Structure 1
Amino acid sequence: MKPKTPEFAAPSDAAERRAVVPVVCYPPETLTPPNLKGLARLRQSAKKTDEVTVAPRDGACIDVPAGCFFRIVSVEGAQVGDLNIWNSADLTERFYSGKTRALHGTHLSTGDRMWSSFPTLRPMATITADTLDWYGFDAFGGSVHDVIGTRCDPYTGQLLSGTSYHHCCHSNLTRALADHCNLTLSDAEAHVHDVLNVFMCTGFTRDTGQYFMKASPVRPGDYLEFHAEIDLTVGLSACPGGDCSQEHSSDATTCYPLLIEVFDPGKAARAAHSPPAPSSYDRTHGVG
């Protein structure tokens, strides 16, 4: 896609307008930072209590109690995953990728939080470890673990190519949630939402502003680890794009499994954990 040719001539003060200094929309200084040192100490005593393997081009769910840790691990080869999380007691409270992006940026790493949808808007999980934090941003503007993409889905595939592909991340997450929560596919699909693209390397092209992907730097043994702030149901799809170096939503790319592990710091630690309170906004919306 070539950059669009402007229809209108630039005004005489175009350079001045472009030079206006940007302002961060949502300054995060008033957010309470996570106690990463305290979480690291807690993690040292945590023992592995559960795990699930996510098969290539498929999805799986697992429950993670509040106060526990969960880890997404690359186990065989370069593979990206699409992550959804829900409040186990209320699936309508789910990860809000857009607001998380507004608060933390386009790509997440250690110390960033996954925020929930309205009206609760509270931290659902805190990233406590990221073995790919060394990557930063590359010369193309790419980085890992993005909240700018959505998820590969059968509807866009049908729109662009007229093909029905059933093992894209949207469908994988739908099947996994339906199986895990004993829901119909239709009911489960209503809860599937925009994702954290774990291990995926993405950005925007500088000339056309298009969303791009490139080969993930992930290797076996790499992981992204989280602390569950509330009782969570975690859903993960092992993307049919593999390392996303070429394409997604097809059976042409080599794909590998991903592993989700749960670590419990113990009954006392979980009892001492205080889940974040929902938003204190009164929800009157200016009426009354």
Structure 2
Amino acid sequence: MPTNASNGQVHVIPARKGVATRVAQGQVITVINTHGTQVVDTWAFCADDIAEFMSMEHSRGAMLKVNPKNGDTLCSNRRRPMLTLIQDTSGGVHDTLIAACDRYRYQQLGHVGHHDNCTDNLATALGTVGLTPPETPSPLNLFMNIPVGEDGSVTFEAPVAGPGSYVSMCAEMDLIVAFSACPQDLIPVNGQGCVPTEAHYRIDAKAPRL
């Protein structure tokens, strides 16, 4: 488990659950894949108006790529910069294509009854800060491995991120950021063992040293 450092306290993203936090412009938020192989669905909303949110389709158009790398900026649905990726020790494999899991996804996979899901986790997390999401935007799926084949096909593969690896992003405006430690346990997006685990995050005034 990561330890606290001088600039910011480490907070838990519980396994299968979501959290939300405020991040001021210029602060750096770091998402830690504590045990390795855990996908963390990530959303950002403008703190002044959550109808403006980080948009994967707008970001892909701005970056001209499907997988953000160091120096790339993720944009809002109003095409304004929101988060810039500044440090990545996870292997650099993330996903901007796949929608957040929801109860319909688990029904399609044959699950009967309730199953934790990232769509509900987002709503619950924003509820803790008194907000209701205007919709469920497609998330930035940190550490998620969705290779795109030469024929345009995609597959769901295990993450390449190792324990303790992390991604740091700088806020380009005042934000509300939400995370979900993806509860998917029917296909191996969280590793071959299909066991979701906790992750952690921290907020620093500048790029951290972990």
Q: TM-score range by the shorter chain?
A: 0.7 to 0.9
The one-letter code sitting in structure 2 at the alignment partner of 1:54 is: I
Q: Summarize the alignment of residues 167-186 of structure 1 with structure 2, pairs less than 5 Å apart.
A: 167-179=116-128, 181-183=129-131
Name the residue aligned to 1:106.
66
Q: CA deviation at 1:151?
A: 1.3
Moved more, 46-55 or 122-131: 46-55
- 1:196 aligned to 137, 140, 160, which one? 140
- 2:161 aligned to 213, 218, 224, which one? 218
Give the 3 Å change call, closer, same or farther, for CA 93–50 of structure 1 in structure 2: farther
Calculate the TM-score normalised by the size of structure 2. 0.84
Tell me the number of residue pairs that the alignment of Structure 1 and Structure 2 aligns. Answer: 199
Task: Tell me the SS of whatever aligns to 2:121.
Answer: helix
Name the residue aligned to 1:53.
12
Q: CA deviation at 1:246?
A: 2.2
The one-letter code sitting in structure 2 at the alignment partner of 1:93 is: E
* RMSD after superposition: 2.4
Q: Summarize the alignment of residues 3-82 of structure 1 with structure 2, pairs less than 5 Å apart.
A: 47-82=6-41
The one-letter code sitting in structure 1 at the alignment partner of 2:130 is: N
Identity of aligned residues (%): 28
The one-letter code sitting in structure 1 at the alignment partner of 2:134 is: A
Give the 3 Å change call, closer, same or farther, for CA 224–217 of structure 1 in structure 2: same
State yes or no: 1:151 paired with 2:151. Answer: no
* Alpha-carbon distance in 1 for matches of 2:103, 2:18: 15
Q: CA deviation at 1:169?
A: 1.1
For the 8 Å contact 2:39–2:189, the answer to whether it is kept is no
Calculate the TM-score normalised by the size of structure 1. 0.63
Give the 3 Å change call, closer, same or farther, for CA 164–177 of structure 1 in structure 2: farther
Q: CA deviation at 1:152?
A: 1.0
The one-letter code sitting in structure 2 at the alignment partner of 1:246 is: P
The one-letter code sitting in structure 1 at the alignment partner of 2:35 is: E
Q: Summarize the alignment of residues 240-259 of structure 1 with structure 2, pairs less than 5 Å apart.
A: 240-241=183-184, 246=188, 253-259=194-200
Give the 3 Å change call, closer, same or farther, for CA 247–229 of structure 1 in structure 2: closer
The unaligned stretches of length 5 or more in structure 1 are 1-45, 136-143, 266-288
For the 8 Å contact 2:158–2:189, the answer to whether it is kept is no
Q: CA deviation at 1:203?
A: 2.1
The one-letter code sitting in structure 2 at the alignment partner of 1:203 is: P
Q: CA deviation at 1:50?
A: 4.1
Task: Tell me the SS of whatever aligns to 1:73.
Answer: strand
Q: CA deviation at 1:52?
A: 2.3
The one-letter code sitting in structure 1 at the alignment partner of 2:27 is: C
Deviations 1:169-226 (A, max 9, x none): 11111111112x224xxxx24343111110111123445x443121111111211100
Task: Tell me the SS of whatever aligns to 2:20.
Answer: strand
Q: Which consecutive aligned stretches of 4+ in structure 1 deviate over 4 angstroms post-superposition?
A: none
State yes or no: 1:228 paired with 2:171. Answer: yes
Q: CA deviation at 1:259?
A: 0.7
Q: CA deviation at 1:245?
A: 6.0
Task: Tell me the SS of whatever aligns to 1:66.
Answer: coil
* Alpha-carbon distance in 1 for matches of 2:107, 2:12: 29
Task: Tell me the SS of whatever aligns to 2:196.
Answer: coil
* Alpha-carbon distance in 1 for matches of 2:113, 2:130: 25
